[in-house]
Amino acid sequence: MGILIKNGTVVNADGSKKTDVLIDGEKIAKVGDKINATGHTTVDATDLLVMPGGIDVHTHLDMPFGGTVSADDYTTGTQAAAVGGTTMLIDFALQSQGRTMREAYDTWRKKSDNKACIDFSLHMAVTDLGPGDGSQGLREMEEMVAEGVSSFKLFMAYPGVLMIDDGLMFKVMQKAAKLNALCCIHAENGSAIDIVVAQMLAEGKTAPHYHALSRSPKAEAEATHRAIALADMAGAAVYIVHLSNAYALDELKHLQERGAKALAETCTQYLVLSIEDQMPGKSWDEAKFVFTPPLREKWNQKVLWQALTDGSLVVVSTDHCPFRFADQKSLGRGNFSKIPNGGPGVENRLQILWHYGVNGGWFTQEKFVDLCCTAPARVFGMEKQKGSIKEGLDADILIWDPNAEYTISAATQRMATDYSMFEGWTVKGNAAKVISRGELVVDNSTKPGKFLGTTGRGRFVKREANAGGMV
């Protein structure tokens, strides 16, 4: 019982081959030529590519933020991910200041269990180590790692809400080093940015594009340097999330050259959207593009694409954090700092990366698989389970049609927002069929945009502590 995928080209990060794939139950049973198996459903993948399902390591589902809650819950968010070819995501549990990590973990498992439609895991965002010397919080970090939460998120922005100071960050890093856990950092100098925000508002600069102007690329670069330098002192492995600009990249690269255990991702939006094109300062519509870090000047895009090709950036995620334009982004009319930060992207990551990255000549189909599937699995401690088409791994498989043309629109998307950041863009290359742990959950070739599995079938994935794959 299972699925036999015939006549496709299997694409892994280390090479492509025209061959068959046999799925038994939830696992890949065999990869090889001319497989004959009885009692299996045959899927003909002639002219199609057979890749590992996408892994998006940076999403915010059902997250309280900016005076509201992100628009996708674990059901709509994971269904949207699946329709776009993603079969696994890692979301963030946010510890509230004065509360425990355990409480945050339980809260996020309540949001996700029985609702997730694909497999998922959690990073723990640490905001507090508890009273005194922090030993209670440091013990909780051990518990988290034992339960498969092997990455900790630290915010250097959003003072008064999520930001922690350098001392707390350093303590967490020292502990993470002992545990082989990975520290994921939102790197922006939140204190400096808050001063600029207050000054702008006092000058009557309230429109959405001031969000972008208030968050200098240099504030990101400064924090990127500081985070990596502190992690290096602590002996910890560090992963900079949503790196958005060339100055921050310079910091990453020069510290990597000096031997720091530092990795970084960028996100789809920074590769294809820019402040000039999306936020020229003319209309309220630009609130759709208020996310953090903000859009940058267009010249940064080339630098980021180049960094993906030369290996200084290792992963592309989405930072999917959706808010509706009509009734959520509107909280910031007249004051850009009150616009809930974030954009919807989990459904479109693979389409955009394929169209602009592979069709655009930046990299090969194998590199695409590496950036979207294999490196995310390795960096986040689940390569023995996911991220490649290999015997024994979970049968999370994306059957990709490189010739399918698709026009992105809010009218047809699964994400629960009333707009798309890529409205009207036509891309070539789209998910044809998506298999999650051996089950066909999306068939865009016959039932476009529909999730075919049951709600709640997604499972929590325990991840190994492997210091981002750098040990």
The answer to whether 171 contacts Zn ion (rule: CB under 5 A) is no
Beta carbon nearer to Zn ion, 234 or 431: 234
The answer to whether 56 contacts Zn ion (rule: CB under 5 A) is no
Residues 341, 365, 436, 466: which binds ligand URP (CB under 6 A)?
341
Which entry of Zn ion, ligand URP, none binds 305, CB below 5 to 8 A by partner kind? none
The answer to whether 60 contacts ligand URP (rule: CB under 6 A) is yes
Which entry of ligand URP, Zn ion, none binds 251, CB below 5 to 8 A by partner kind? Zn ion
The answer to whether 152 contacts ligand URP (rule: CB under 6 A) is no
Which entry of ligand URP, Zn ion, none binds 291, CB below 5 to 8 A by partner kind? ligand URP
Minimum Å gap between C-beta 266 and ligand URP is 12
Beta carbon nearer to ligand URP, 406 or 419: 419
Angle at 343 between CA 337 and CA 346, to 5 degrees: 160
The answer to whether 321 contacts ligand URP (rule: CB under 6 A) is yes
Beta carbon nearer to Zn ion, 240 or 398: 240
Minimum Å gap between C-beta 99 and ligand URP is 19
The answer to whether 243 contacts ligand URP (rule: CB under 6 A) is no
Which entry of Zn ion, ligand URP, none binds 225, CB below 5 to 8 A by partner kind? Zn ion
The answer to whether 236 contacts ligand URP (rule: CB under 6 A) is no
Residues 319, 370, 394, 396: which binds Zn ion (CB under 5 A)?
319
Q: Which stretch in 108-116, 192-200, 246-254, 458-466 sits in contact with Zn ion by CB under 5 A?
A: 246-254
Number of residues that bind ligand URP (CB under 6 A): 8
The answer to whether 119 contacts Zn ion (rule: CB under 5 A) is no
The answer to whether 186 contacts Zn ion (rule: CB under 5 A) is yes
The answer to whether 251 contacts Zn ion (rule: CB under 5 A) is yes
Minimum Å gap between C-beta 209 and Zn ion is 20
State which residue has the least CB distance to ligand URP: 341
CB 172 within 8 A of CB 130: no
CB 323 within 8 A of CB 66: yes
The answer to whether 274 contacts ligand URP (rule: CB under 6 A) is no
Residues 319, 347, 396, 439: which binds ligand URP (CB under 6 A)?
319
The answer to whether 265 contacts Zn ion (rule: CB under 5 A) is no
Beta carbon nearer to ligand URP, 6 or 153: 153
Q: For residues 97-116, which are near Zn ion according to CB under 5 A? A: none
Minimum Å gap between C-beta 172 and Zn ion is 16
The answer to whether 370 contacts Zn ion (rule: CB under 5 A) is no
The answer to whether 220 contacts ligand URP (rule: CB under 6 A) is no
Asked if residue 402 has a cis previous peptide bond (ω within 30° of 0), the answer is no
Residues 357 and 348: their CA atoms lie apart, in Å, by 13
HEC profile of the chain: CEEEEECCEEEECCEEEECEEEEECCEEEEEECCCCCCCEEEEECCCCEEEECEEEEEECCCCEECCEECCCCHHHHHHHHHHCCEEEEEEEEECCCCCCHHHHHHHHHHHHCCCCCCEEEEEEECCCCCCCCCHHHHHHHHHHHHCCCCEEEEECCCCCCCECCHHHHHHHHHHHHHHCCEEEEECCCHHHHHHHHHHHHHCCCCCCHHHHHHCCHHHHHHHHHHHHHHHHHHCCEEEECCCCCHHHHHHHHHHHHCCCCEEEEEEHHHHHCCHHHHCCCCCHHHHHHCCCCCCCCCHHHHHHHHHHHHCCCCEEECCECCCCCCCCHHHHCCCHHHCCCCECCCCCHHHHHHHHHHCCCCCCHHHHHHHHHHHHHHHCCCCCCCCCCCCCCECCEEEEEEEEEEECCCCCCCCCCCCCCCCCCEEEEEEEEEEECCEEEEECCCCCCCCCCCCCCCCECCCCCCHHHCC
Beta carbon nearer to ligand URP, 186 or 209: 186
Residues 328 and 69: their CA atoms lie apart, in Å, by 9
Beta carbon nearer to ligand URP, 289 or 368: 289
| Residues that bind ligand URP in the complex, under the rule CB under 6 A | 60, 186, 291-292, 319, 321, 341-342
| Residues that bind Zn ion in the complex, under the rule CB under 5 A | 186, 225, 251, 319
